[in-house]
């Protein structure tokens, strides 16, 4: 829960900073194989950590809670966009969207655990019943985004396992080739010794 002291605030901002850094690194990888996969998986884990912090922070006002949740969705969609565009060389628009969302999500000028917070255009004119309905819709949408992140991480993990299997297989082939080369060299030396006896 983050509504309390400075230590939890620092921890929260630290997690946020790492999530932003990993999304930035993934976008800069621009489809560069293992590097991009590594950073997208790490970014997904940090976004999940941010989501857990937000759910457990009961000190936020409703307006601030919804604002941060909307911006967390933007971060998640930015990461998904990077994954979908991994075959292209330029993922900077997604990274810029992630940076903007991160800066707004945890603006240091706001007081954590403060009052109601600023309402958004989406919620300003809604009554209580409409707010509850929108909150349910938002939570459902958030669950879908999280599920997409989990599926993406699972695919990246499976791909990493496949790459590891290929590396193991290649190492075995190299070992076999090295053994064959050594055996051939030994036979060649023996043949040279036999020939030298007749010269």
DSSP 89-122: S--HHHHHHHHHHHHHHT-TTSPTT-SS-PPPTT
Contact (CB, 8 A) for 40 and 1 = no
What count of other Cβ atoms lies within 10 Å of the Cβ of residue 15? Answer: 19
Distance, C-alpha 165 to centroid of its chain? 23
Of the pLDDT bands very low, low, confident and very high (cuts 50, 70, 90), residue 93 is very low
The vertex-49 CA angle with 43 and 53, nearest 5°, equals: 145
Q: Lowest mean pLDDT: which of 5-9, 70-74, 122-126, 148-152?
A: 5-9
pLDDT, tens digit, 9 for 90 and up, residues 101-149:
555 444 444 433 444 445 666 666 767 787 788 788 888 888 888 888 8
What is the rounded end-to-end Cα distance, in angstroms, of the chain?
A: 88
pTM here is 0.34
In the chain, where the domains are located? 33-88, 143-198
pLDDT of residue 18: 64
Using CB atoms within 10 Å of the CB of residue 49, give its burial: 0 to 12 exposed, 13 to 18 middle, 19+ buried. middle
């Amino acid at each position: 829960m983050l509504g309390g002291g400075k230590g939890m605030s620092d921890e929260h901002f630290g997690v946020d900073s790492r999530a932003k850094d990993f999304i930035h690194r993934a976008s800069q990888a621009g489809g560069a194989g293992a590097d991009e996969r590594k950073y997208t998986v790490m970014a997904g884990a940090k976004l999940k950590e941010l989501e857990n912090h937000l759910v457990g922070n009961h000190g936020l006002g409703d307006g601030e809670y919804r604002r941060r949740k909307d911006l967390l969705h933007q971060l998640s969609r930015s990461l998904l966009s990077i994954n979908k565009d991994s075959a292209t060389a330029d993922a900077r628009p997604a990274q810029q969207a992630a940076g903007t969302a991160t800066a707004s999500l945890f603006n240091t000028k706001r007081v954590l655990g403060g009052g109601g917070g600023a309402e958004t255009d989406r919620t300003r004119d809604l009554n209580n019943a409409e707010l509850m309905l929108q909150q349910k819709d938002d939570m459902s949408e958030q669950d879908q985004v999280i599920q997409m992140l989990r599926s993406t991480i699972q695919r990246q993990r499976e791909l990493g396992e496949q790459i590891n299997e290929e590396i193991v297989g290649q190492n075995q082939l190299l070992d076999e080739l090295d053994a064959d080369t050594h055996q051939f060299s030994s036979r060649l030396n023996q043949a040279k010794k036999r020939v030298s006896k007749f010269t």
